Amino acid sequence: MRVYNFSSGPSVLPLPVLERAASEMCDANGTGQSVMEMSHRSKDFKPVIEKAEALLRRIMGIPSHYKVLFLQGGASTQFAMVPLNLAGVEPGEKRKSASLVETGIWAKKALDEAVKYVDVAVRASSKDAAYNYIPAAPAPRADDAYYYICLNNTIVGTQWDALPKTGAVPLVADISSCILSAPLDVSAFGVLFAGAQKNLGPAGLTVVIIRDDLIGHAPSWTPVMLRYDTHANEGSLYNTPPCYPIYIMGLVLEWIESEGGLPVIERRNREKAALLYDYLDASTLFRPVVKPPYRSIMNVPFVTGDDLLDKEFLAAAANAGFVNLAGHRLVGGIRASIYNAMPVEGVAKLVAFMKDFEARHVSR
């Protein structure tokens, strides 16, 4: 029996995708071999990677003057690749500047890496309240090389409602935990990147969507694997890419189209989030961590206010088939990640379980 998996990543995948992958494990596309066995430069793998890119472009509406790169290293590697490629300088040259809004632990990690290569100004921060809101975002400085945000903050459960106005300064966003959760205007960004292990597929693949004019500016000393032009010039085949995750991503994208595309996915995601938040707001036992204007529709953290009771709930939930509900190790508490592949039924059943748990404990 499959459980309801509320993991923040690697996370739940659509059951039809898993079933199709299983059926094609030993013979993908009539080739007589698994995608795991294919040479990345073979005629058999070429349609796999081309299909994945074409589907992503169509579903997200990616303009033709943007490159789509399939990379390794996780989203965390982009914390270095972004400043190196957009603001890196040769030895002896004056360092460039960039702006960043600090809205959580992943934005802070990006900041800590970027300051090695560029002068980063933290334009706004929500650290004063444990990152439980999105601060007002000032405009960038005219000479900034880029403006960096994390669009959805997985650990603390906040998301941007309106994008900062950056003018001619390229807006860069980590969209790891919200990619494909709703329509997004790609043309509003210079660079988008996402680890695959939440809404795209299994761990091991990172997708980068980058405007053409931002490619090719890394300083000469940049490691070859950390240059966007290295991968753009070779169609993501400079070295062996994460072939199997790319294949699974293609299946996930086909599933999204079969479900009705991003407008349908967004409506379903908002329905799931409303089910959970409405209960939390009315509960006398559980308390949501984030106030309504800033709440993520992907990651919902909550607490009872008693660490021991949190742990009791987590154990009881796991026994009932609701797994991976523990909050991030740095913040604790409880967190339900309700990505695209989590059905509405799963959230409804979780809420029913929480109501029963509350009834049994509030009456004590």
- The set of catalytic residues is 106, 174, 198
> Hey, what amino acid is at 319?
N
Question: How far from chain centre, in Å, is Cα 228?
Answer: 20
265 φ/ψ angles, rounded to the nearest 5 degrees: -60, -45
Integer Cα distance of 11 and 13 in angstroms? 6
Side chain identity at 14, as an amino acid letter? P
User: Which tokens go with 210?
Assistant: 């980058």
Of 153, 162, 163, 169, nearest to 98 by C-alpha is 169
Q: Give 16-46 as a DSSP string.
A: HHHHHHHHTSSSSTTSSS-GGGS-TTSTTTH
Exposed e or buried b per residue across 250-265, where buried means at least 16 C-beta atoms within 10 angstroms of its C-beta = bbbbbbbeeeeebeeb
Rounded-to-integer distance, Cα 359 and Cα 289, Å? 21
CA distance 78 to 223: 13
Structure tokens given for 128: 């004063």
Closest CA to 21 of 55, 48, 40: 48
